[in-house]
Amino acid sequence: MSKRLRSSEVCADCSAQDPCWASINRGILICDECCSVHRSLGRHISQVRHLKHTPWPPTLLQMVETLYNNGANSIWEHSLLDPASVMSGRRKASPQDKVHPNKAEFIRAKYQMLAFVHRLPCREDDSVTAKDLSKQLHSSVRTGNLETCLRLLSLGAQANFFHPEKGNTPLHVAAKAGQTLQAELLAVYGADPGTQDSNGKTPVDYARQGGHHELAERLVEIQYELTDRLAFYLCGRKPEHKNGQHFVIPQMADRRLSLDLSELAKAAKKKLQSLSNHLFEELAMDVYDEVDRRETDAVWLATQNHSTLVTETTVVPFLPVNPEYSSTRNQGRQKLARFNAHEFATLVIDILSDAKRRQQGNPLTGSKENVELILKSISNQHSSESQDNDQPDYDSVASDEDTDLETNAAKSNRQKSLDSDLSDGPVTAQEYMQVKNALVASEVKIQQLMKVNINLSDELRIMQKKASKLEKQSSVSESDYDNPTTPLELEETGSGRKGRQRSVLWQGEGSIPEDADTAPSSSLPSTEDVIRKTEQITKNIQELLRAAQENKHDSYIPCSERIHVAVTEMAALFPKKPKSELVRTSLRLLTSSAYRLQSECKKTLPVETCPTTDIQLVTQQVIQCAYDIAKAAKQLVTITTKENNN
């Protein structure tokens, strides 16, 4: 659907005139340059569409326009509207700013770190829980006030929240009230149109009962959005849901290739069919994201000034890392970009065929295979020569240096799929024992981490004593310990405490920003300063581990925020561009682990809707992140002590 832009419309991020793109889940319009950054963040951060050259469901476009016109951008720039932010030097990007690093740093801070979003109090005595926010959302969706609902969602309200007293979800309420735009917004944030209320009715049922037939039809489209998008990508056609047709399975244009199935391809298809429902859904969602990336790429290349494509780093060659996914899944997602047109079409057709089979309830028994094997099998089925799947073509993915993390990820996949397995057949004794053993392993891991942190504290005290003696004997000038970067106060997310360095807060997933104007620096902070910050990190980690041991899951988020503040302050001691590769690697591990820790802790918000097993899985990942932070901090202490003594 085309759209005529009004002259009053400006980019939400840099205020450039005539924005041509929209970020659907943020409710904003953005220009080409800012869109290039949004695309690099991934769909879990920003879902972009071109306003003119991408097909739009009319009500979805209307939802974005309504949010934009009603000031949705103020949700993401709340603290920037405070006059005090001008005094502190914090400002939004301008049209004249360079895309990298200026606009990119601002956009990452705004949407990835949520650095400017209004934060609710974190103290236990007056904190507002996710349940409270979700109940407010449940009430608000019966009205037409979209920006209120977006604000609640941005604060942690759950789109699929099941109201214990009302016995339904926000989408049931919106459908019954005929609030089409609210339904669109909820769906963007993951609301399921197929969810049944306590009476066994879906939002589609209530929309039809209320005479909201267009809304009912749109909800059905949303329910089948994934398979519809995959089918449209291959053949430009969608099923006629009005007539009861819910799937279109395209055929290969080249019949010879479609009939010439190798044994490897047949094996891949069998493995796909034997996946649990949960793992199959994950693979289908990853393929959906890859379809979106390829389609958006095509629109991007068709609408850009090709002379600038060579100089601007605006290409998104594969799916960006999602820190909420395991490293194995992220690596598999990125490898989807290697599939040529025929290989990718084969995978899409197989997924559509199996989605139809599963929806119609045709069971298949078989072992659960690794999704990675399926991707590898399909990508090799028509290749004349094998490819090296380990070559470093992709973004760095959270490292699995410790076998414990890989084991936990495997256990996580098995346990998460347990609920889906229940619908496929009885749970075996082996599956039951896997879940039971994982719960026991979680408690053991907590005990181990407690011991590790106690040992780390002891080592720090010893190193601090040694450092004090060495510094008294040393004749090194004080200037050698200066931080060569300019401090800049920034409000830390949800804590009210201050960081000291813009590049640290705006680092996104932990990467150390490259600044062309800053030469690599070999100077390091004093050992005493590093030890002092490490002790603060260790103290906060011990507090988090105690909360894990005592099952105080509501303490995870405030603990993780205190750890993030301590990590930020420690990272700020070091140069923006350290000369030492060891320092850069350790800083990267430190900051990325703190970022992942916050992401994992946020998963505990809807505690009342999660089974105990899910909380234990989150706890495992939280403990692993805490371990990585402690390890990186210890590395930095060791490196700093060694360098300062030389």
Domain annotation covers residue 375:
yes
- The verdict on 152 and 34 lying in the same domain is no
| DSSP 8-class letter at 479 | G
Q: What is the pLDDT of residue 310?
A: 38
Domain annotation covers residue 480:
yes
> Where would I find the H helices in 360-417?
371-380, 403-416
Question: Residues 467-480: pLDDT tens digits?
Answer: 555 555 544 333 33
Identify the domain boundary among 77, 112, 147: 112
- The verdict on 83 and 178 lying in the same domain is no
Q: What is the pLDDT of residue 364?
A: 62
Domain annotation covers residue 14:
no
157 residue type, one letter:
A
Separate counts of helices (H) and strands (E) for the chain = 27, 5
Strands 21-23 and 28-30: antiparallel
| Spatial CA neighbour of 161 closest among 115, 194, 195, 205 | 195
Mean pLDDT value across the chain: 76
Q: Is the pTM of this model over 0.85?
A: no
Cβ atoms of residues 20 and 12 within 8 Å = no
Question: Residues 160-215: pLDDT tens digits?
Answer: 999 999 999 999 999 999 999 999 999 999 999 999 999 999 999 999 999 999 99
Identify the domain boundary among 352, 381, 402: 402
Q: What is the pLDDT of residue 384?
A: 41
Q: What is the pLDDT of residue 494?
A: 35
Domain annotation covers residue 216:
yes
- The verdict on 75 and 147 lying in the same domain is no
| Spatial CA neighbour of 155 closest among 73, 75, 225, 248 | 75
- The verdict on 464 and 398 lying in the same domain is no
- The verdict on 212 and 278 lying in the same domain is no
CATH code at 32?
1.10.220.150
Write out residues in the chain with pLDDT < 50, as ranges. 1-7, 123, 125-127, 255-260, 307-312, 365-368, 382-392, 398-443, 445, 474-516, 607, 609-613
Domain annotation covers residue 554:
yes
- The verdict on 275 and 335 lying in the same domain is yes
CATH code at 146?
1.25.40.20
- The verdict on 266 and 357 lying in the same domain is yes
- The verdict on 397 and 452 lying in the same domain is no
DSSP per-residue codes, 577-637? SBS-HHHHHHHHHHHHHHHHHHHHHHTTTTGGGS-HHHHHHHHHHHHHHHHHHHHHHHHHH
- Phi then psi for residue 626, to 5 deg, are -60, -40
Domain annotation covers residue 415:
no
Domain annotation covers residue 295:
yes
Q: What is the pLDDT of residue 644?
A: 80
Domain annotation covers residue 121:
no
Question: How many separate domains does the chain show?
Answer: 4
Cβ atoms of residues 530 and 640 within 8 Å = yes
CATH code at 632?
1.20.120.330
- The verdict on 90 and 139 lying in the same domain is no
- The verdict on 484 and 525 lying in the same domain is yes
Task: Note every long-range contact of 199-208, with CB atoms under 8 Å and residues 24 or more positions apart, other chains counting.
Answer: 199/167, 201/172, 202/172, 203/169, 203/171, 203/172, 203/174, 203/175, 203/176, 204/175, 206/172, 206/175, 206/176, 207/175, 207/176, 207/178
- The verdict on 186 and 297 lying in the same domain is no
Other CB atoms within 10 A of residue 440 CB: 10
Q: What is the pLDDT of residue 127?
A: 46
| DSSP 8-class letter at 80 | G
Q: What is the pLDDT of residue 248?
A: 92
Q: What is the pLDDT of residue 440?
A: 46
* Burial call 235-267: b when 16+ CB within 10 Å, e when fewer: eeebbeeeeeebbbbbeeeeeeeeeeeeebbeb
- The verdict on 491 and 630 lying in the same domain is yes
Q: What is the pLDDT of residue 27?
A: 98
| Spatial CA neighbour of 573 closest among 643, 512, 523 | 523
Q: Which residues constitute the domain of residue 352? A: 251-402
Cβ atoms of residues 66 and 227 within 8 Å = no
Cβ atoms of residues 511 and 395 within 8 Å = no
3-state secondary structure of 25: coil
